[in-house]
Structure 1
Amino acid sequence: MKKVELGRTGQQVSQVSLGCMTMGTSTDEKTSARILDAYLDAGGDFLDTANCYAWWAGSSFSGGESEAVLGRLLRGRRDRVFLATKVSAQPTDLPAARAAQRPSGMDWEAVERTYEGASAAVIERSVEESLRRLGTDHIDLYYVHVDLRREPLEETLSALDGLVRAGKVRHTGWSNIRAWRLEHIHSLSLAHGWAPPAAVQVQHSYLRPAGADTPSIAGGELLDWLVAHPDVSLAAYSALLRGIYDDAAYREATPIWRSYAGPDSESRLAAVSKVASALGATGNQVALAWLLRKQVIPLIGPRTWEHYESIAPAFTLDLSDEHMSLLDNA
C-alpha cells in the first residue's frame, strides 16, 4: 500500500486509512481482529476512531467501545500503527441523544445539541480517557470531531497545543468544518506558535454533492483551500458513500444518496461503470482508486469481513491516465 506524507509533518502514513467506527459494536471483536490483521498485512498503518464510537449502535453501548477494542487488539504492536482519535462529539445526555432516533434515521442536529464540545476541560479529560482505553501513552493524530463554535478557538487551540507539548498527542486535526473556520484555525495557530492542523476530515467521494451545503461534506471552497495549503491533508470519510457505486437499488434506498442524486451523479456513475467494466473491477473499487490518484487519504469502514474483501483490491488498482481523464471529465 502506498505511503504519503501527512501534511508537511514528515510523518509517512498509508494512503488508505482504516475506519474503526464499528469495531467493538456492530463488528464483533473476532471480525475486527481479522480485518485489522489483513489491513496491516497489506501495508496499512493509519487507524481512525473516536471517543464517541459507537454509542448509537445499541442501548448497551455508550461510546468508547471502538477505542477499547483497538487497545486490546494493538497490544504488542502499537508501534506498527499511526493512531487517530477524536474529541468533542460524545453526548452528555445519552437518553436525549437516543430519543433523536427517527424511522428515517438519526436526527443528528438534535444529537449535536447534546455534544460536550471542545473546551480545555473536556479536551484534557477526554484525552486521558482515550489514552487509557487505547492502552497507549500517545495519540498520533487528535481531531476536534465537530466544530460546534461554543468555546473560543484560542481556548481549544491552546489546550490542543498543550497536549502536543506534553507528548500526549503528536499532531492535531479538525473534522466537519467549513473552509473559513479552518483558515482561521490555521492562521491563529501560526500566529501563536501553537500546533497547526495537519489534517482535516470531512466526507468526500468521487461523486459531487448536488447542492448540499454542510460542513461535513467537502465543497469546492474547502478543496480549493487545501490546494493552497499542502500542509493540511484531506482525510475523506464515507469515501464510498456507504457502497453506492455498485448497487442501484441500494443507492436509491439509502439516505446518503439524497445529497448526491441528480444528472451530474448519473453521468459520473456511468463513467465509473465504464472504467470498472474495462478493468474487471467494481464501481466501489474504481471510486476508491480515483481518490488515491487525487492524493486524498480515503477512509474505509468495513463492517464485515466480506466488505473488507470487496474493497481491498482497490489498494493496488491501477487507473491509467485515460481512465482518469474519463472519470474527471464525466
Structure 2
Amino acid sequence: MQTTTLGNTGTQVSKLALGCMLMGTATSEADSVEMLHRYVDGAGGSFLDTADCYAWWSRPESQGGESEELLGRWFAQTGRRDEIFLATKGTALPRDLPGLWSNPQEPDWAKARQQFAGASRAALTSALEASLRRLGTDYVDLYYVHVDDLATPLEETLETLAGFVTAGKVKHLGWSNVRTWRLESIRQLCDRYGWPAPVAVQQQHSYLRPRPGSESASIVGYDQLDYLQRHAQTLVAYSPILKGVYDVPEKRTTSHVMTEYAGPDTDARFAAVEKIAAEVGATPNQVVLAWLLRQDLVTLIGPRTLPQYDSAVPAVGPSLTDAQVAYLDAA
C-alpha cells in the first residue's frame, strides 16, 4: 500500500482509504468484517473513514452511528485499534430524525439539511463524546467538521476543536464540504490564536472536472486544489468513481451526480479513460482510481459489497505509464 504525508504533520497515511459509511447498514456485519480484513491484511491499508451520521437514512428507526458501532465491535474483537489511522466526523447528524420520515421509503433530505447538528461548542462536544463511545476508543486520529456551519461563529468552532486536541481526544483536524474562502478564514484565525489548523480537507474529487459555473461547495475546484497544495493540506477525495458512471454509460444520463459535470470537457474525459482502460485491460473505474493514486492525495473508496471492494483494490497496483497519465491529464 502506497502512503502519503498527512498535511505538514509528518504522519504517513495510506493513499487508498476505506470508507465505512455503509458498514452495519447496507453492508452486513459479516461482509463488513471481511472487507476490513481484506483491506488491512490483504491490501496493507490502515486508513478507515466514518462519521457519526452514518447511516441514519438507511431506515426510519435509525439514530445514526451504525458504522461507528460496527468499527467499535471490530476493534474490541481484534485489538487492532492502534494499527489503524481512524477518521470520523461530526456536525451532519440531523436533530429530529423521526420527523424526517413522512415517507417511510425515503427521508426528507431538504428538511434534514436544515436540521444538521452544526459546529457549536455544545454540538461538537456531544458529537465527539458519542463517537468515542461508539468506537470504543479514547481518541481519533482525524476529526472532521463534516458539513461547514456558517451559522456558528468560526472562533467558537475552532476553539472547541483546539480543546479536543489539547485533551488528547483528537490528534489532527479536518474539514469537509467547504469553500476555499472559508479555509482561508480558518487558516488566518488559527494563525492569530495559535489554534491547530486543519491538515486534511475531504471533498468530492474525481477524474471528471466540474462544469464551468458549478457552485457546489462539496466538489474540488481548480482554485481549491492549488490552495490545498500551497497550504500543505491533504485532499481526501470522496466519491472518486462518481457512483460508477465510468463503468456504466447509462448512468451518465440518469445519475444525479452528473448535474455538476455534464458538458464537452466531460465527454472528452470519458473517451480518454475508456481508451486507456482498453490499453491496460482494466475497467474505466479502475483506471480512474489508478490515476488518482498517482496524485499527491488520499483516495477514499466506499464499496457496499465485497465484489465492489475487490474491483476497486486492483487499482492500487496497475501500471499506468507516464505517457498514459499525461494523456489522461490532457484530455
Normalised by the shorter chain, which TM-score bucket? over 0.9
> In structure 2, what is the Cα distance between the partners aligned to 1:109 and 1:219?
24
Match of 2:46 in 1: 45
Match of 1:12 in 2: 12
**Residues 101-145 of structure 1 deviation map (CA, whole Å, 9 limit, x = unaligned):** 99xx86644321111101111111111110010011101000000
5+ residue gaps, structure 1: none
Match of 1:226 in 2: 228
Query: Which amino acid in structure 2 is aligned with residue 86 of structure 1?
Result: K
| 1:243 positional shift | 1.3
What are the equivalent positions in structure 2 for 1:19-168 lying under 5 Å apart?
Answer: 19-41=19-41, 42-75=43-76, 76-99=79-102, 108-168=109-169
SS at match of 2:285: helix
> In structure 2, what is the Cα distance between the partners aligned to 1:107 and 1:183?
33
Instruction: Say if 1:96 and 1:111, in contact at 8 Å, map to a contact too.
Output: no
Instruction: Say if 2:148 and 2:176, in contact at 8 Å, map to a contact too.
Output: yes
Match of 1:196 in 2: 197
> In structure 1, what is the Cα distance between the partners aligned to 2:125 and 2:61?
26
Query: Which amino acid in structure 1 is aligned with residue 315 of structure 2?
Result: A
Match of 2:185 in 1: 184
Query: Which amino acid in structure 2 is aligned with residue 224 of structure 1?
Result: D
Instruction: Say if 2:31 and 2:305, in contact at 8 Å, map to a contact too.
Output: yes
SS at match of 1:197: coil
| 1:257 positional shift | 1.7
> In structure 2, what is the Cα distance between the partners aligned to 1:319 and 1:108?
40
5+ residue gaps, structure 2: none
> In structure 2, what is the Cα distance between the partners aligned to 1:221 and 1:107?
33
Query: Which amino acid in structure 2 is aligned with residue 94 of structure 1?
Result: L
Aligned residues: 327
Instruction: Say if 1:35 and 1:305, in contact at 8 Å, map to a contact too.
Output: yes
| 1:96 positional shift | 3.4
Instruction: Say if 2:158 and 2:190, in contact at 8 Å, map to a contact too.
Output: yes
> In structure 1, what is the Cα distance between the partners aligned to 2:60 and 2:107?
14
| 1:97 positional shift | 3.1
> In structure 1, what is the Cα distance between the partners aligned to 2:120 and 2:325?
44
Relative to structure 2, which stretch is displaced further, 92-101 or 55-64? 92-101
Q: RMSD value over aligned CA atoms?
A: 1.5
Relative to structure 2, which stretch is displaced further, 213-222 or 83-92? 213-222
Q: So what's the TM-score if we normalise by structure 2?
A: 0.95
> In structure 2, what is the Cα distance between the partners aligned to 1:326 and 1:98?
47
SS at match of 1:209: coil
Instruction: Say if 1:140 and 1:170, in contact at 8 Å, map to a contact too.
Output: yes
> In structure 2, what is the Cα distance between the partners aligned to 1:108 and 1:172?
27
Match of 1:215 in 2: 217
Query: Which amino acid in structure 1 is aligned with residue 4 of structure 2?
Result: V
Q: Return closer, same or farther for 1:262/1:222 CA change in 2, 3 Å cut-off.
A: same
Q: Return closer, same or farther for 1:167/1:287 CA change in 2, 3 Å cut-off.
A: same
| 1:50 positional shift | 0.4
